[in-house]
Amino acid sequence: MNDELKPRDHVEAVALFRHALIGALCSRGSLTHGELAAELRELSTRPVLPPGADCTRCYGASTYEAWLYAYRRGGLDALKPKRRCDTGHGRKLTEEQCQLLLDIKRERPDASAALILRTLEEDGRLPRKLVRASTVRRLYAEHGLSAAKSRQLAGSARDRRRWEAPRPNVIWHADVCHGPALTVEGRSVPLRIHALLDDHSRYVLALQACSNERESEMLALLVRAWRGHGLPEKLFLDNGPTYVGDALYTACGRLGITLVHARPYDPQARGKMERFWRTMRDQCLSHLGPMSSLHDVQVRLLAWLERHYQVAPHSSLLGKSPRQVYDSGVSAEQQDRISEQQLRDALTVEGRRRIRGDGTLTIAGKLFEAEQGFLAGTRVSIFRTLAEPAALPWLEHEGKRLVLRPVDPVANSKRMRDTRPRRGIDAIPFDPAGAHLNRLLGKKGGDR
């Protein structure tokens, strides 16, 4: 606690400032009308610096006279500035500017007042710092355009408390957001956005626009986040099919990551992730416009993420940005504690397959072939790693690792066969069946 005596607020500071200016007049006895007028004219020539102002100004004699009589009637309280009746109603906005704000809100009801105001300022259609977002929200409320603020909790009254991980990389949230469908080459393509969010800092560790929500897409996103940010202690997930597969359980179990699933039909338990999705929709996803590819969506999302969300002050972080909180709380050991070999081992998939007579076998819907012809017809152990989806699978036989290659029928048709003439020992005929037949017929080996 500071023991220094200061004004309680700006209103009291203004009242004390006004009292200091007219203090000499208040302390003097009765003055004639002419003497008072002369004193007031002399005060009006003095430049003064009001509280909170950047430059000096001069007040008129009539202003000083009004302050003097107000102080004599009501003391210091009478010198406090009164709140304007039109405060918060955008008196600096012209009719055209108010109409522009209202038209945009009617056309884009899902856009927040802060987003509309920031966009118009960046486009040069409104001067910067002309009004605040709260003033724009009141303008919308006056015209019946404000969003509903009250939400009723359904179901039983559950004891809910605000909670947070003690530091970064303790709990990560993973979820999928359904975006607007894309039109690619005349056909509709679904948009699914996968994301990973750090609980302590609200920092987005990875974000990817996809056309599906398969487990393989989420695993690829996790691998990218693990490589860049290390391993979390827990993953907080919902109960969708993306997060209940064996591959995710196996990989996280091998890496020592605990999987925690929220209760079904309880979106409030996933409030931090839901809040991020709402922010992304309000500020970016709802304003993408026509997009022709997932790449275009990804570029726009990453630009918004890096230039605004990650660096903007967050209300739950006491005004700090997610990037500031994450960078200041995570250590280098947390980011570098996993090696590529550990990652490949944890994401290695093993299975048994029988190699066909032509040396081929099917893995994940693709046809591969073994170069070793003697393995035809045998059952072997097949391996592949999800850490590198583009890497070729392999088989292990007698302690050796043999790489499998995709089948290329055209290249196989051009392979040279061994048609050279046999010489030396290769030219000696060897025919067990013929020798057996000669013995039955009583012939000698050389009689043919």
| Highest mean pLDDT pick, 17-21, 135-139, 244-248, 322-326 | 322-326
Task: Quickly state the pLDDT bin for 193 (edges 50, 70, 90).
Answer: very high
What is the predicted pLDDT for the residue at 152? 41
Return the higher-pLDDT residue of 142 and 221. 221
Give the full edge-to-edge strand order of the sheet including 360-363.
Answer: 360-363, 366-369, 405-406
Q: Which CATH number fits domain 171-335: 3.40.640.10, 3.50.50.60, 3.30.420.10, 3.40.50.2000?
A: 3.30.420.10
State which H helix or E strand residue 280 sits in: helix 271-283
Can you say how many angstroms the Cα of residue 21 is from the centroid of all Cα atoms in its chain? 55
- What is the H or E stretch that residue 75 is in? none
Confidence of residue 1 (pLDDT cuts 50, 70, 90): very low
pLDDT value at residue 26:
77
* Mean pLDDT, rounded, for 325-354: 78
Measured in residues, the chain has a length of 448
Query: What is the domain partition of the chain in residue ranges?
Result: 10-79, 95-142, 171-335, 347-448
The confidence score (pLDDT) of residue 151 equals 39
Q: pLDDT category, 427, cuts 50, 70, 90? A: low
Give the pLDDT score at 303.
Answer: 93
Strand, coil or helix: 206: strand
Residue with tokens 């032509």: 358
Q: What is the DSSP string of 207-253?
A: EEEES---HHHHHHHHHHHHHHH---SEEEE-SSGGGSSHHHHHHHH
Helix axes 33-43, 10-27, angle to 10 degrees: 140
User: What tens digit of pLDDT does each residue of 146-164 get?
Assistant: 665 333 433 444 566 778 8
Confidence of residue 359 (pLDDT cuts 50, 70, 90): confident
Question: Cβ neighbours of residue 201 under 8 Å, at least 6 residues apart?
Answer: 168, 317, 322, 323, 325, 326, 329
**DSSP secondary structure code for residue 54 in this structure:** S
* pLDDT of residue 334 exceeding 70: no
3-state secondary structure of 374: helix
Taking every pair of Cα atoms in the chain, the longest distance, rounded to a whole number of angstroms, is 161
272-295 pLDDT, tens digit each = 999 999 999 989 888 887 887 899
Strands 234-237 and 258-261 come out as parallel
- The span from the CA of 256 to the CA of 247, in Å, is 14
- Look at 422 and 124; give whichever has higher pLDDT: 124
For residue 57, what are the β-bridge partners?
48
- 246/279 Cα distance (integer angstroms): 32
Q: How sure is the predictor about 311, in pLDDT bands with cuts at 50, 70 and 90?
A: very high
pTM of the model: 0.61
